[in-house]
Amino acid sequence: MAVEKLREGLSAVGTMVRMVGNPAVALVAANAGLDFIMLDLEHGPFSLETLENVFKVGRSVGLGCFVRVPELSKSYVSRCLDLGATGVMVPMLESVEQARRLVHWAKFAPLGSRGFGGVGAHTGYQSVGGESTASFMARANLETLTIAQIETAQAIRDIDSIAEVEGLDALLIGPNDLAISMGCPGDLMGERLDRAISQVAEAAKAHGKIFGMHAPDPLTERWLPRGLKLVMSGLDVNVILSGFKAIAQRYKP
């Protein structure tokens, strides 16, 4: 699965899902060779029940099941994990305190204080069997990614301190909002954004965090040789739109 690859220092490639709530989207992604999908609860319409249904299918075929929550709260972070997410990303995370709260709600003790919910989607609706509670919690902490989406100038200023937080697993660049916050909207290939991303990449390397990005192809390709491991490309609605346009352009007079 994606989390295992990332823990081993390998790359994992996936996409953002904002529109398609049919659980078959997880099968399609896996059949296409993707390592993970990330359901977008920040900008998308999905219910928690939809998230659970998609992730049940995803987990059954070894697909990484990540979610971008709409806000940093226990009700979203902990519940999404209980419903089968293997990674939680918080948008616009920009302080040490926010990073610590994410870890607090996402990780079991001793890293955090996630509640032990027993049997559920996160256990495949099976008991932990002969595994001790302590062993299960330690394994779950390793198999669960906490992801800070870095999208503001304030986050860049505090990036080294954020990256130091124990239990925070990944720093993922959101270049569009980051460029807006830095006063250079749309200039994703410019020098100012490049310097900011470099700071994040360096902080990730220095503190043993996974460096990620959700970006257009030219920016992603620029950073692949520079330590980018958590690679998120595209959006389901854009993929469908491109396919529909190709049909129209090919066959309409």
pLDDT category at 130 given cuts 50, 70, 90 is low
> Across the strands, what pairs with 146?
88
Which has the closest alpha carbon to 138: 104, 100, 165, 111? 111
pLDDT score of 125 more than 70? no
Q: Is 7 exposed, middle or buried (0-12, 13-18, 19+ CB in 10 A)?
A: middle
Q: Are the CB atoms for 114 and 88 separated by under 8 Å?
A: no
Q: Are the CB atoms for 89 and 172 separated by under 8 Å?
A: yes
CA distances from 107 to 82, 88, 141 (A): 11, 11, 6
Mean pLDDT of the chain: 95
Domain positions in the chain are: 2-251
Residue with tokens 């062993």: 135
pTM check: above 0.85: yes
Instruction: Render pLDDT for 209-223 as a digit per residue (tens, 0 to 9).
Output: 999 999 999 999 999
Instruction: Render pLDDT for 58-110 as a digit per residue (tens, 0 to 9).
Output: 999 999 999 999 999 999 999 999 999 999 999 999 999 999 999 999 999 99
Q: Which fold has domain 2-251?
A: TIM Barrel (3.20.20)
Phi/psi of residue 212, each to 5°?
Answer: -130, 170
- What residue type is assigned to position 52 of the chain? E
Per annotation, catalytic residue among 43, 104, 122, 207: 43
Any catalytic annotation for residue 104?
A: no
Give the pLDDT of residue 116: 85
Instruction: Render pLDDT for 175-194 as a digit per residue (tens, 0 to 9).
Output: 999 999 999 999 999 999 99
Residues 6+ apart with CB under 8 A from 144: 3, 81, 85, 86, 87, 88, 106, 107
Cβ atoms < 10 Å from Cβ of 9? 8
